[in-house]
Amino acid sequence: MGNSHNAYTVKVAEQAIERIKALGMPADPGAFELWYTYASGRNQELNRRINSLIEDKGSLSADDHDSIRREFLQTARADTAIIDAGTKVSAEVDNVVKLLGELILSTARGRGDFAQASSQLANSLDQETIRAIADALIKSLRTIEIQHAVLEERLSSSKQEIESAKQALATATAEANLDVVTGLATRRKFDRMFEDAVQAANNSGEPLSLLMIDIDHFKKFNDRFGHLMGDSVLRLIGVTLKQSIKGQDTAARYGGEEFAVILPQTNLAGAAQLAEQIRNRIISRELKQRLTGESLGAITVSIGIATYRKGELPLTMLDRADAVLYNAKRAGRNCVRVEELAV
């Protein structure tokens, strides 16, 4: 079994290396993790995404690699961390329950000893008997005291373990919901929040709008200035979106250079006004090379907007917003396009 497993993992690793060589990618740990996962076939959605990109473009860019790793592999690690932390909390709670049971049993035994001694004292006036009963009670009290001290120490230790596990769980949950580059919600959190927003709009009849935002020519920017500057652009978009939305709105990094903003209780006109504000704020912020002071030019975005239609599924609305975004890109980019409402 061990030899067979080793042979399998070596074969998968070799296939991963071959993929990295064929695409001319650096053989760093991140690339190896991605292609090992691909070669193992254990994440079919990841494989479908990679196959689709290769079919469309013939290869994968470094940005494609980063985007897929963030979406699939970081999410998987966050899931594992959440499960591990949750399991540890559960185990420590079970331990505390067990300790409390021992404490109750110890107390019950002590009460039994006192009840027996009380009965014996009521029926005896012999001093030696009374002394023996008193010695037995003292011994019982000391035993209970020792047991309680041990249990208290164990309970204190369990409390610390629970606090540590709770902190780990909170950290893992935050990482699963927060994009590390932009500080915005992750795709995972967006999906959950968007589904809730659609259900709320369907129940209340209030309007709901969705912005889909794409950074114009982002891959060319990355190829020219490098991924560190590319991350600076992503952070710029993240800061702009956070400064532009209200408390009930949700801005998320949808994937790669694409972003989404959920706007509850906002009609199409209000969403279009906000989208123009976002577009203008982004284009007005000039990026420069930190060392040379060289201007990197204006960053522009294309934005598509759709509004909720009673009774439709979240995916339907999402597809419509994405289609409108595509229209904005076809129109020359650096513009806002709003869906055409049926009369």
Q: 56 Cβ partners below 8 Å, 6+ apart?
A: none
Q: What counts of helices (H) and strands (E) characterise the chain?
A: 11, 5
Distance CA 256, CA 70 (A): 9
Rounded to 10 deg, the angle between the 227-244 and 268-283 helix axes is 140
Q: Which helix (H) or strand (E) holds 103?
A: helix 74-122
Of 107, 135, 101, nearest to 121 by C-alpha is 135
Q: How many CB atoms lie within 10 A of CB 339?
A: 19
Q: Is 192 helix (H, G, I), strand (E, B) or coil?
A: helix
Contact present, 324 and 258 (Cβ < 8 Å):
no
- SS3 string, 158-177, reads HHHHHHHHHHHHHHHHHHHH
Q: 240 Cβ partners below 8 Å, 6+ apart?
A: 278, 281, 282, 285
257 is a catalytic site residue: yes
Distance CA 145, CA 3 (A): 55
- 267: Cα within 13 Å, side-chain hemisphere: 3
Sort 28 into a burial class: Cβ within 10 Å, 0-12 / 13-18 / 19+: exposed
Among 145, 152, 206, 257, which one carries the catalytic annotation? 257
- In angstroms, the Cα distances linking 284 to 40, 251, 278, 318, 328 are 46, 20, 10, 28, 19
Quote the DSSP letter at residue 342. P
Residue ranges with strand state E in 138-226: 208-215
Residues designated as active site: 257
